[in-house]
Amino acid sequence: MPSAEPDLDLTSAAETAAAALDAAARLGAAHAVVRVERTRSQVVALRDGRLETTVDDVEVGVGLRVLHDGALGFAATVALGTADAARLGAVAVDTARTTRRAGGPAVELAPEPAHGRVVWRSPYRTDPTAVPLGDKVALLADWSRRLLAAPGVAHVAAHVLAVREDSYLADSAGTVAVQHRVRLHPQLEALAVGDDGDFEEQRTLAPPAGRGWEYLGGEGWDWEGELSRMPELLAQKLRSPSVEPGTYDLVIAPTNLWLTIHESIGHATELDRAMGYEAAYAGTSFATPDRLGTLRYGADVMHVTGDRTVEHGLATVAVDHEGVEAQTFDLVRDGVLVGYQLDRSIAAEAGLGRSNGCSFADSPLHVPLQRMANVSLQPAPGEGPTLEDLVGGVERGLLVEGDKSWSIDMQRYNFQFTGQRFWAIRGGRLAGQVRDVAYQATTTDFWGSMAAVGGASTYLLGGAFNCGKGQPGQVAPVSHGCPAALFEGVRVLNTRQEAGQ
């Protein structure tokens, strides 16, 4: 296993952090938290087996947030050193003073105990950012050539994104967290063109994950199996009939359902959004605080958790960017809204007690925001239904696999989702692919139509690198686990007809 120590000079980071905290305290800050971070981000992209783009970027910086006289202030710099850190304290406090003059209620932070020194690393074996560029290109080129050699495949795009994030966090309460994590997102997309000029495409279904380079060697995903199946699946899709719009029972695989969870539950249960703080940018939420404990979000079998601790989760940490310990908590239980995702100021403002550790900034130069945990739909208890069991209970329906496009309104209520692969279900059996499918519903109608959730054998942790939020905008990595699930009586659209084609 790699060392738990991050790719930072910890002695220098500790001195820098101490100087920033000392300066903030001398200037009267009631609380302060400082992050010294180094993030390495890589992109390798190929088109038809030839290298198209490479990026290898390293960002290093220090960010300090203070609470002073009931207002928050933030300052950041790329200069690492005690003198610069001390000046950072003065700038952060001055920012808080300026913010305080703007008026509004005083900011409070929910209480959080000190956690002493915490050293944590995400589980992996090979740092994906340390793998030589030539090795990455060679693997993606080999996979691309294999797909291009198949009849009917005209083009292949391949890319891999890799991030290594090292941080040293310290706060004025006495928490010091040294954290080191990696994440990886490999993907291939193949395009086929028919004799009549029609075309279709399919992507691999492997999710991004908090894993090392061993992920591409088959640890956590069957790449050999998927790549061998893709050309024939794509050829079948190109020949498949267009879906007849109407009402269907849907068996939705986790490779598609994770995105519906993200948009209709994950964002909707961010408490700052539900309280109106994202109204000017990405919208609010229908799941308002007055409905906590009473809103019928979905069917009785619906149990959704927020989790900052799950293995290989993209939002998994030991301590968040406010010094709060990572936790697991309920958002929806027995179909009812029972919780929200919280940071310390929102938890205090809403009177909900302790934060559940949902603070994150995508850079040391950016102020932490209340960001999404790994929000997941739990499988059925015990052994639970298999995918075959769920399909076998459907007389007329569709099996949906893979994410593609989506649309959702500003209250996270009315939505429409498409996918990568769609299979007709007739009499409890798969009856070939169809295409041009989108499913449309309101959030509560959709989750209320969930008749069954699969067992643990159907469970998969999906997710995305690029969840967007805030002004100025930030992106955050987040995972969403779920089993396959059965939804009854869902409206299905024909996307080709809807587009007037």
Mean predicted lDDT score pLDDT of the chain: 96
d(C-alpha 94, C-alpha 173), whole Å: 21
| Percentage of residues of the chain with pLDDT beyond 70 | 99
Secondary structure class of 57 (helix, strand, coil)? strand
d(C-alpha 312, C-alpha 257), whole Å: 18
Farthest-apart Cα atoms in the chain, separation = 74
Written out in words, the top-level CATH class of the domain with range 10-239 is: alpha beta
| Peptide bond just before 472 cis, omega within 30 deg | yes
Indicate where the chain has its CATH 3.30.2290.10 domain(s): 10-239
Q: Which residue has the tokens 């267009």?
A: 242
pLDDT over threshold 80, residue 398: yes
One-letter amino acid for residue 313 of the chain: G
d(C-alpha 117, C-alpha 170), whole Å: 9
| Banded pLDDT at 6 (limits 50, 70, 90) | low
Contact call for residues 374 and 308 (beta carbons, < 8 A): yes
Q: What is the DSSP letter of 100?
A: H
pLDDT over threshold 60, residue 240: yes
User: For 366-379, how does the pLDDT look when each residue is reduced to its tens digit (9 = 90+)?
Assistant: 999 999 999 999 99
What average pLDDT does the segment 449-470 reach? Answer: 97
Non-local (6+) Cβ contacts of 9 within 8 A are none
Tell me, what's the pLDDT at 280? Answer: 84
Q: Which residue has the tokens 């690492």?
A: 80
For every residue of 182-215, which 3-state class applies, written as one string?
EEEEEEEEEEEECCCCCEEEEECCCCCECCCHHH
Contact call for residues 76 and 64 (beta carbons, < 8 A): yes
Encoding tokens for residue 351?
A: 């009177």
pLDDT over threshold 50, residue 2: no
C-alpha distances out from residue 43 to 54, 56, 218, Å: 5, 7, 20
Tell me, what's the pLDDT at 5? Answer: 45
Contact call for residues 406 and 374 (beta carbons, < 8 A): no
Percentages of the chain per state (helix, strand, coil), in multiples of 5: 25, 40, 40
User: For 31-61, how does the pLDDT look when each residue is reduced to its tens digit (9 = 90+)?
Assistant: 999 999 999 999 999 999 999 999 999 999 9
User: For 122-174, how does the pLDDT look when each residue is reduced to its tens digit (9 = 90+)?
Assistant: 999 999 999 999 999 999 999 999 999 999 899 999 999 999 999 999 999 99
What average pLDDT does the segment 391-397 reach? Answer: 97
Encoding tokens for residue 75?
A: 């300052």
pLDDT over threshold 90, residue 339: yes
What average pLDDT does the segment 11-29 reach? Answer: 97
Contact call for residues 305 and 461 (beta carbons, < 8 A): no
Strands of 204-311, DSSP E: 246-252, 304-307
| Banded pLDDT at 4 (limits 50, 70, 90) | very low
Encoding tokens for residue 449?
A: 């139509």
Contact call for residues 418 and 495 (beta carbons, < 8 A): yes
Q: Which H/E stretch holds residue 416?
A: strand 414-417
